[in-house]
Amino acid sequence: MLRHGDGLVLKRIIAMSGETVSGVDRKVFRNGKQLDEPYLASSTAKDQALLTSFDARTVGPGELFVLGDNRDRSADSRLPGYGPVKTADVIGKYHWTYWYARRSKN
């Protein structure tokens, strides 16, 4: 979890300072090796070409490259207006989700 703008967002840290990251056809590479990402949401017909591939970039000092798990529609470090995040903006680690489901009385 990290601070972004006036709020908090949940993103996955993909690369740290000094590492190089790139993306080709929904596959992400860190330092030339493809990441195994079984947690990703499935591709949809609404995929944005801008988000399925991105040029290689090296993460700067004190920065992190973050991506959302809903990769094809996530605002994250791939976008010029978002960019890398500062390590100081990380405020916690996400561990699990609890879903509360109300049962109907039918």
Q: How many domains does the chain have?
A: 1
Output the pLDDT for position 66.
Answer: 96
Evaluate if pTM is beyond 0.85. no
103 assigned to some structural domain: no
CATH code, 42 = 2.10.109.10
Output the pLDDT for position 96.
Answer: 65
**Tokens of residue 54, six digits:** 């991105």
100 assigned to some structural domain: no
**Residue range 50-93, pLDDT digits in tens:** 667 899 999 999 999 999 888 877 889 998 889 899 999 999 88
99 assigned to some structural domain: no
106 assigned to some structural domain: no
Domain around 34? 2-89
Percent composition of the chain: helix, strand, coil (DSSP 3-state, to 5): 10, 35, 60
Query: Cα(71)–Cα(82) distance, rounded to whole angstroms?
Result: 14
Output the pLDDT for position 7.
Answer: 86
97 assigned to some structural domain: no
53 assigned to some structural domain: yes
102 assigned to some structural domain: no
**Residue range 24-55, pLDDT digits in tens:** 988 999 999 999 988 887 776 665 666 678 99
